[in-house]
Amino acid sequence: MWLAFWLIIPTLVAIGITAFYPLGQTIYDSFFKWSLRPGFQREFVGLQNYINLFQDPRFLQALWNTIYFTFFSVLIEFLLGLATALVLNADFKLRGLVRAAVLIPWAIPTAVSSQMWKWMYNDQYGVISLMLYNLGILSEGTPILGTPGIAMSAIIAVDVWKTTPFVALLLLAGLQIIPNELYEAARIDGASMWKQFTSITLPVLRPTIGVTLIFRTLDALRVFDVVYIMTQGAVGTETLAVYNRSLLMDNIFSPRGLFGYGSALSVVIFLIIGVFTVIYMRSLNIKLD
Amino acid sequence: MKKILAVVVLLTIVLSVFSITITMTAGAVGTELETLLKQVDMFMEENPDIRVQVLPMPNSSTDRHDLYVTYLASGTPDPDVLMLDVIWPAEFAPFLVDLTDDYDYFELDKFFPGTVASNTVEGRLVAVPWFTDAGILYYRSDLLEKYGYDVPETWDELYTAAKDISSKEGINGFVWQGARYEGLTCNVMEFVHSFGGEIMKDGKVVVDDPQYYNKNVAAITFMDKLIEDRVTPRGVTTYMEEEARRIFQNGEAVFMRNWPYAWALVNSPTSPVAGKVGITVLPKGPGPDGRNSATLGGWNLGINANSSAAEVEAAKKLIKFLTSHEQQVYKAVNAGQTPTRIEAYNDPRTIEANPFYVDIFDVFMSAEPRPISPIYNEISYEIQVAVHSVLTQQTQPENAVKSLAQNLRKLVY
């Protein structure tokens, strides 16, 4: 008993230093008007930073953009990922090779793939732009990443391209544990393919789906790199994390004391992610122990 | 033998007791770092008691800013010598050593006045100009000649020539930097100033003052008109320096606004437009208040206020060395970086390596700084948002100027 306690101590200390201390410090800082500029008088403002935040049009826009991005990217990734997983679960030649190939987008660092897609979206040389112009979907010369509305869809497309393989992989792992006998029995009873899918595959897959959605939603809610590299948050694509970087890095020494304000934004992002996690875990009956 | 060894050991000990190590941050664009390392070697040969460590930084100015924020906020005494973008001194001033009393030591009266002014915060000199930058106009001399146009002196002349030549050649007319980032602010300042407008003056918001309002609106309207009339491709709202340069260098634009760095690249042996390019000042706006304007860019050297007194002394020596006439010429010849000392432009070695310096000397001489303010980032952000919303067809220029005025007043009371 005591041995176990002593063995776990170093881990607890490490987590305390790296996770809980910064979190506590951030929450504490969020109650102050404060800047890291030398000589700046730290001033306690209570919940004022939070009140200001919800009256800040830039924050509300970023909040909406983040939710929009999360909803559509996770939805599309899930549907495509599920379809991919079902295909990869079937028996066919070279299955191993296809499975490995599908994973390539996931293996490329986001910073690299974002830059790659940025070039493909270029209005003059970009292959995607050229295709869309030729198909008449976009009028000639429309900058994909410089047009409100279109830019966000383009960013979602990059995220879908990158993350669908990951979703497929998770779901594939879930599919593989379903014993074949279940399907055989269903076929003998005369169940259609659709009936087999809704009555066997989906219920058994439910915990896996839950984990997948949690992973993806939490990732999407703090999306930063794709957006920052492709548009830096211009034309209505700024997400909460991009706005937070701007507050905490660009304006950290501002005499207007924005450090506490940025901390408040960090706490709000943390809370939003926490709320989503609880909702998912409740609705999918996932237990932690 | 033993004696020699003993002497060497003794010397090493003595030297290491009296020698001091300082670190400096550096860029690594093109041959910049290579050149600097050679300069640092020369310096250490002249000053055997000082060791200099060079710390390369990321290329993007924004990433460098993030890096400095972490250094300075943590209060670390390293790096001692900081390479600073012209827009940073006001923000970082509390973290930098006051160099006001060293004005003569660095011979700052021999530098471009604008570069020294941009390093002066509330009367305190906080950094020494190292190399400078200014917006310039690149043009296709072969195409202008082919269609009988002179080098444009006003924006209207540029518009006419660009529209005509681009439609006949089936290429773009005029490319510049219109993405929503710091480069857009530089471009906006040039358009606004050349039309006789102003955004901030002496720390006050003047963007909607009666004497400037119409000119500011006219300048932004002109930028928008370039895009609407397809003289500038619509994609300019996503272009930074390199996007514009690639188009121009591939022979797909008649005019380009860019920094001097592009000169060497568009004239490199592999460039399709090598030898067909000229450079000049950016055009004047219309009316009696129209003038040529170029935004001041460039990098400066400041000293970390957390460094020890001895390190500060060594850092001053290094900065004096690097910004001396000899070394600025060396840098101009080897790295193509534009000197901040006026006399360096008369040096035959500079002229031989960069003949175009002579043509645009006046541009560097009169380059205009962006607003000097500790909240420069916030001011620049508001300018970017206001103008970008016009360029992406979301707002009318009049409304953009009005909302810019409102938002700036919230920042600068």
Does B303 score more than 80 pLDDT? yes
pLDDT 10s digits, A168-205? 999 999 998 888 888 889 889 888 888 988 888 888 89
Task: Please enumerate in sequence order all residues whose Cβ is within 8 A of that of A245, keeping only pairs 6 or more positions apart, or say none.
Answer: A224, A228
- The mean pLDDT of chain B is 91
Averaged pLDDT, A233-262: 92
Does B288 score more than 70 pLDDT? yes
pTM score, whole prediction: 0.88
Cα–Cα distance measured from residue B293 to residue B240, given in angstroms and rounded to the nearest whole number = 20
Does A285 score more than 80 pLDDT? no
In DSSP terms, which residues pair with B278 in a beta bridge?
B139
Q: Does A119 touch chain B (CB under 8 A)?
A: no
Find chain B residues with C-beta within 8 A of A148's C-beta: 392, 394
> Least CA distance to B232: which residue of chain A?
A141
B179 and A232 within 8 Å at the Cβ level: the answer is yes
A253 and B91 within 8 Å at the Cβ level: the answer is yes
Shortest distance between the Cα of B80 and any Cα of chain A, in A, equals 18
Instruction: Confirm if B293 and B195 have CB atoms less than 8 A apart.
Output: no
The pLDDT confidence band at residue B336, using thresholds 50, 70 and 90, is: confident
Q: Does A256 touch chain B (CB under 8 A)?
A: yes
Cα–Cα distance measured from residue B153 to residue B145, given in angstroms and rounded to the nearest whole number = 15
The pLDDT confidence band at residue A120, using thresholds 50, 70 and 90, is: very high
The backbone region for B346, taken as left when phi is positive above 0, alpha when psi lies in -120 to 50, beta otherwise, is alpha
pLDDT computed for residue A96 by the predictor: 83
Helix, coil or strand: residue B107: coil
Task: Please enumerate in sequence order all residues whose Cβ is within 8 A of that of B73, keeping only pairs 6 or more positions apart, or say none.
Answer: A36, A252, A253
Distances in Å between the alpha carbon of A19 and those of A16, A23, A131, A281?
6, 6, 47, 22
Instruction: Confirm if A123 and B247 have CB atoms less than 8 A apart.
Output: no
Does B267 score more than 80 pLDDT? yes
How many A-B residue pairs are in contact by the CB < 8 A criterion? 89
Whether the complex's predicted ipTM is more than 0.95 is answered with: no
Does B234 score more than 90 pLDDT? yes
Residue type, A76: I
Instruction: Confirm if B324 and B347 have CB atoms less than 8 A apart.
Output: no
The structure tokens 């050679």 sit at B38
B377 and A36 within 8 Å at the Cβ level: the answer is no
Cα–Cα distance measured from residue B212 to residue B401, given in angstroms and rounded to the nearest whole number = 10
Helix, coil or strand: residue B275: coil
Q: Does B58 touch chain A (CB under 8 A)?
A: no
Instruction: Please report which residue ranges of B83-154 form alpha helices under DSSP H.
Output: 89-92, 113-117, 141-146
Q: Which two tokens stand for residue A138?
A: 């976009």
Cα–Cα distance measured from residue A284 to residue B147, given in angstroms and rounded to the nearest whole number = 71
Find chain B residues with C-beta within 8 A of A249's C-beta: 65-66, 69
Which site among A123, A225, A243 would you substitute to test the B interface, given the most B Cβ atoms closer than 10 Å to its Cβ? A123
In DSSP terms, which residues pair with B128 in a beta bridge?
B301
> Nearest CB to B235: which of A143, A234, A254?
A143
The pLDDT confidence band at residue B11, using thresholds 50, 70 and 90, is: low
Angle between helices A95-102 and A150-176 (to 10 degrees): 140
Q: What is the DSSP letter of A148?
A: T
Does B6 score more than 80 pLDDT? no
pLDDT computed for residue B389 by the predictor: 96
Find chain B residues with C-beta within 8 A of A251's C-beta: 375, 377-378
More confident residue, B333 or B154: B154
CA nearest to B29, candidates B253, B214, B264: B264
A253 and B394 within 8 Å at the Cβ level: the answer is no
pLDDT 10s digits, A24-83? 999 999 999 988 888 888 899 999 999 999 999 999 999 999 999 999 999 999 999 999
- Write out A98-127 in H/E/C secondary structure: HHHHHCHHHHCCHHHHHHHHHHHCCCCCCH
Does B369 score more than 70 pLDDT? yes
pLDDT computed for residue B31 by the predictor: 77
Instruction: Confirm if B316 and B102 have CB atoms less than 8 A apart.
Output: yes
pLDDT 10s digits, B178-218? 999 999 999 999 999 999 999 999 889 999 999 999 999 99
pLDDT computed for residue A243 by the predictor: 95
Which site among B237, B247, B388, B390 would you substitute to test the A interface, given the most A Cβ atoms closer than 10 Å to its Cβ? B237
Instruction: Confirm if B397 and B381 have CB atoms less than 8 A apart.
Output: no
Q: Which two tokens stand for residue B141?
A: 């001399």
Q: CA angle, A215 as apex, A270 and A54 as ends, to 5°? A: 25
Backbone angles phi and psi of A33, in degrees to 5: -90, 115
DSSP per-residue codes, A35-92: -SSTTPPPEE-TTHHHHHHTT-HHHHHHHHHHHHHHHHHHHHHHHHHHHHHHHHHS--
